[in-house]
Each structure stands twice: as structure tokens, then as C-alpha cells.
Amino acid sequence: MSGSALLLQFLNGLAGANSLFLVAAGLSLIFGVSRIVNFAHGSLYMLGMYVAVWLAPATGFWAAVLLAALIVAATGALVEIGVLRRLYQAPELLQLLATFALVLIVRDFALWAWGPQDMLGPRAPGFGDAVFIAGAAFPRYDLLLIALGPLVFVLLHALLTRTRWGTLVRAATEDREMAAALGVNQRWLFTGIFGLGALLAGAGGALAVPREPASLAVDLAAISDAFVVVVVGGLGSVPGAFLAALVIGEVKAFCIGYGYSEITLAVEFIVMAVVLVLRPWGLLGKPLPAPRGAAAVEPPLGRIDRKAALALACLAALLAGLPLAGDEYTLVLATDILVFALFAVSLHFIMGPGGLASFGHAAYLGLGAYGAALLLLRAHAPTEAALALAPLLALGGAALCGWFAVRLAGVYLAMLTLAFAQIVWSIAFQWDSVTGGSNGLIGVWPAPWLASKSAYYYLALLVCGIGIALLWRALGAPLGYTLRAGRDAPLRADAIGIDVRRVQWIGFAIAGTFAGIAGALYAFSKGSISPETLSVPRSVDALVMVLLGGVQTLTGPAWGAVLFVWLQDELAREVEYWRAAIGAVVLALVLVFPRGLAGYLKERFAR
């Protein structure tokens, strides 16, 4: 690449860094004060894009940018008042889930309001042409963005360091309780900071309009980029977000410039993983203080006593009789339920007793599914071999991601696992020649002896039943106890000779493998797979199932899966905007049953 081409790539990276910075700075500010990772921040960015494209014909470009930013800011403030304000005391996971529910709702809102097609926006008046830099054309608008990023940074910095409001924000970031004891009303502070964060995201989206079309996939793309930026820069640090946005912006620009746009995400992930391992709190971040009043110590999981075992045996017998009674539709639904029950139980295995809440568990489901499909279609392996070998791919993925994951905790862990899943997704999505790209793979049908719905149902019942039983058994065995010890008292566990990281790593790999088994079964039951199998929303489905059932219960997650799959099936049939409906249900559950259904029932009847 020539010198001038290099220069242009570099400038391109700077321009891209602008919107990265705007989104990440808002995310970081909000996290700093409220300790909430706002999953919906990418959705606010997307909303900013759509609103700007929508308004521009009527108001002109610049007014549209301004109005979009303000409308998104107001939305953010309303969301804080209506939802998040009720969740500041709730466990981290529930906060993440609630903001994810908002992602679903915003996306369906955009679908309803603006339709499924991408929308091209106008160019900025006066900035539509190119300038010549070192003999090559460069969009004038991008130069404006390059200047805008540092300007916003300086303004934001001045706001935070030169005004009383900014001082209060920084004080509350450090010690909310003490700020309150000095008479600072946090409510308005929090609403204000959410509004500001949303303003930045909305402005970022609106300003990106001349560079890219508004589309429904922007939300998750923006949020995973922003996650990478804040993790690299340090959560809660605005200068960190600025620096990291530059780094990531350049990484992206050069990957794309050299024609490797497919591996951008992978390179981002590597940058993030390296930073996290070397400086677990990011380049300019500070180690997070342990939250005041940290999680209460949970009672041990229940065990399957004789009565429960009997009940489960009866259930198994009932399930075995289902093909005699049910029609094909019921059998397909029941197979789905079994597969997702195993999936949910495998996530619970590492998330409950292991304490490692993975936000990308669908990656292993998807690896299992793609593994099975590829073995069948590309290697022409028999069904049985495909089913048996596919989970190994999931094992490999889980071992890789898990190696990093066990070094992290809390939101950092959530972001890393999410980013890993997003990479696996983008590989499946973009590697057309092998994975079939966005269309996925079709013709994944099992061998003739499994072709009937009832035969396949029996296979699923057998495999999932054994899988779930094994996982539950392991939780009551030394492996489960050491996992718990590592979660509740890592130092003490270490002192009595438990290699905590190793145990967690093994746990993570096991969980991934069982998710892979579920994935392989899933592929053959559907006959086709698409990247959606391992998308982020699918990972969140798994979290919802587990939380629905109750993290601190043994059998709850399986029931959560039953309820969730059934509910999704009903909703998808009856309601057009079923994603938003699921989002609303999740939101309601988080607000009403913070301990999950099984947890709630247990508490209710333990009295």
C-alpha cells in the first residue's frame, strides 16, 4: 500500500472513531454513575439514525441531526425514569436483561415505524463532495467528523470538570451513598446522565447517516463495537473511551482497507482480549471497587431427593408417552423444548454455581449446530457420527473463550463472552463458501431411521434427558462444589488447594460442550440452520430461560426453558411484533420477579 493510501486509511479510521467515541462515551458515562451496562445503547444509536433519516426531508440535514439527538436524549431520560430507576439495587444480570429487553422493543418499534428496508439518508449540505489529500479523494464530510470527535471530547471533559453538575456526577461515580449524605439528589443526576448518554448516542447515529444507511442490524453492531471500545479504554473513563475509539477505529479501517473486512471483528476481539489479560480494567480505567453490599450469600442448590426423583421419573414416563397422544406439531414443539432445556441447563451449570454469566452461550449451540451440518453436508458423515462429533467443535470454542473468560468477572465477562459470540456469528454470516453465509445451510436431515417426528423426539428425549441428568449430577459432585467454592470464596478456595481458574475453565468447557450437543440435535430437527442460531438474541434467550426459572435453583432453568419456548411459540403465532412482546414480558418479569419463577415459588412456599 502506498503512502497516500495509508494516509487515507488512517483518516478513514479517525472518521470512524468519531461515532465509536460518541456511543462508547455515553455508555461509559452511564456505567460510571449508575453501574448499569446499557445494552440498549446501540439501539439509541440506531434510533438516532432512523429519526435523522426520517426528519431530514422535512427539516433539512442539520436540524434533523439536532432534533434526532434531542429526541433520543428524551427517550433515554424516559427509559431511566420508567425502567432503570427501579433496578439500581437489582443484581447486575437483571439490569443487563432489562436493557436487552429494551433492545428488542426498540428494534420492533423501528420495524413498525420505518419498515424492514435499509434507509439511505441525505448527504450533509456543503459537505457532499470530496477533497484531495496527497492526490487522493477523501470525503469532505469525514474531515468534519474527524474534527468533531475531539471537539465533543473537549466539551464533555469541560462539562465534567468545570461545572458543578459535572463535579456531582464524578462524586456520585465514586461514592453514591456519600454524595446522597451530602444532599445530592441522585435521581435527577441519573436521569440527566442517561439523557446525556442517549444524546451522545443519538447524535452519533444521526451524524453517521451520510456514511451508512439506517438498518435494523445497526443496534447490535453498534453495541458490540461500543463494548469493545469501553472495555479497551476502561469502563467509566471518558478519556479511555476516546483513546480506545481511536485504536479500534484504526483497526477497523485498516482491516477493511486491506480487504479483510470479514476479520475486523476477530481482530477487535483479539485487541480486547489482549488488553483484558494485560490490564483487566482497560487502558485508562481503574479497578472497580467491589459494589457496596455485594451479593448476598446464596443457600446451596437443592438436591434431587427421593420424592423429586420419583416425580422426574413420572415426568419422563409421561414424556415417553407423548407421541401416542400428540400430533406432529406438538412433537416438534416438544423436541424444541427438550433441546432448549438442555441448552438452558448447560448455561446454568456455569452461570449459577460457576458464577460466570456468559452472554454468548449461543455461540456453542451454534458451533454444535454448524458442526453437525458441516459434517453431514461437507464431510458426508453419517448422522450418528455428525451428532457425536459436532459437540467437539463447541468444546473447542468454549475452551478458547473460556480461557479468557475465567480471568474476568461481572460486566467485563459479559462483554467478552458477548464479543466472542458476535465473532462466531460474523464468521458464520460472512464465510459464504463454507457456512452458506446469511442463508445458512439447508438439507440437514437425519438418517432414515430418525426421519419420523416421533423417532427424532425419542432421540431428543433420551439425549437431553441424559445430558440434563449428567449436568445436575455433576453439580452435586465434587466438581460442582469446587465451582461454587470458586464463586463464593475464591481466595479461600485457592488456599485449600483448588485451582479456581482451572476448575472454572473446565466448567466452562463442559457447559459449552453440552450446549453443542443441544445444537447438533437442533440442526437435525430443523433440517436447516442459519446464523440466527448463534446470534446475540439467542444467547439472551438462554439467559432469560435461566433467570425465568431462577439462577439459584437446580431444576428451575429447565422449567424456564419450557415456559420460554412455549411462550415464544404462542407469541410468534399470535403477535406480529413478537420480539417486542417478549421484551415486554422479560421487562415485566425482571421488575416483578427478580428471583425467577422457581426462586419466587420456593420463597413463597418456604414460608
Q: Which residues bind another protein (CB under 8 A)?
A: 164, 167-168, 170-171, 173-175, 177-186, 296
Contacts of 298 by beta carbon, 8 Å cutoff, 6+ apart: 552
Smaller CB distance to another protein: residue 296 or 491?
296
Closest approach, Cβ 485 to another protein, in A, equals 22
Least distance CB 180 / another protein (angstroms): 4
**Minimum gap (Å) between residue 287 Cβ and another protein:** 13
Strand-pairing partners, residue 132, are: 137
Closest residue by Cα to residue 537 from 68, 216, 164, 212: 216
Given the C-alpha cell 440434563, which residue does it identify? 468
Smallest gap from Cβ 606 to another protein, in A, equals: 15
Minimum CB separation of residue 87 from another protein in Å reads: 17
Cα 525 from Cα 444, distance rounded (Å): 8
Of 573 and 607, CB closest to another protein: 607
Alpha-carbon distance of 248 to 274, in angstroms, equals: 13
Q: Are 4 and 136 in contact (CB under 8 A)?
A: yes
> Smaller CB distance to another protein: residue 234 or 507?
234
Q: What angle do CA 217, 203, 228 make, to 5 degrees?
A: 55
List beta partners, residue 524.
none
At position 26, the amino acid (one-letter code) is: G
Least distance from another protein to the Cβ atom of residue 207, Å = 30
Closer by beta carbon to another protein, 178 or else 588: 178
What's the rounded Cα separation, in Å, for the pair 528 and 519?
A: 12
Q: Smaller CB distance to another protein: residue 164 or 307?
A: 164
- Separation CA 276–CA 227 (nearest Å): 12
Q: Which residues 6+ apart lie within 8 Å of 350 measured at CB?
A: 356, 358, 483, 504, 507, 508, 510, 511
How far apart CA 103 and CA 117 sit, in angstroms, is: 18
Residue 184 or 584 with smaller CB distance to another protein: 184
Q: Which element (helix H / strand E) includes 137?
A: strand 136-139
Q: How far is the CB of 285 from another protein (least distance, A)?
A: 12
C-alpha torsion 509→512→513→519, nearest 10: -170
Q: 129 or 177, CB closer to another protein?
A: 177
If DSSP codes are grouped into helix, strand and coil, which group holds residue 132? strand
> Which CB sits closer to another protein, 294 or 495?
294
Helix, strand, or coil (residue 555): coil
Phi, psi dihedral angles at 138 (to 5 degrees): -140, 130
| Region of 476 on the Ramachandran plot (φ > 0 left; ψ -120 to 50 alpha; else beta) | alpha
Supply the minimum distance, in Å, between the C-beta of residue 85 and another protein. Answer: 13
Nearer to another protein, 299 or 497 (CB): 299
How many angstroms separate the Cα of 343 from the Cα of each of 56, 124, 232, 233, 596? Answer: 45, 48, 31, 33, 18
Q: How far is the CB of 169 from another protein (least distance, A)?
A: 10
How buried is 183 (Cβ within 10 angstroms: 0-12 exposed, 13-18 middle, 19+ buried)? exposed
Q: Which is nearer to another protein, 290 or 296 (CB)?
A: 296
Distance of CA 180 to the CA centre of its chain: 33
**In angstroms, what is the minimal distance from the CB of 474 to another protein?**
31
Question: Taking the complex as a whole, how short is the minimal distance between the CB of residue 416 and another protein, in angstroms?
Answer: 26
Q: Shortest distance, CB of residue 286 to another protein, whole angstroms? A: 9
Residue 170 or 602 having the CB closest to another protein:
170
Q: Which helix (H) or strand (E) holds 130?
A: strand 130-133
Query: Using CB atoms within 10 A of its CB, is residue 119 exposed (0-12), middle (13-18) or buried (19+)?
Result: middle
Question: What is the grid cell recorded at 227?
Answer: 463494548
Shortest reach from residue 163's CB to another protein, in Å: 10
Looking at the Cβ atoms of 192 and 476, the one nearer to another protein is 192
Residue at 497: amino acid letter: G
Pick 85 or 140: Cβ nearer another protein: 85
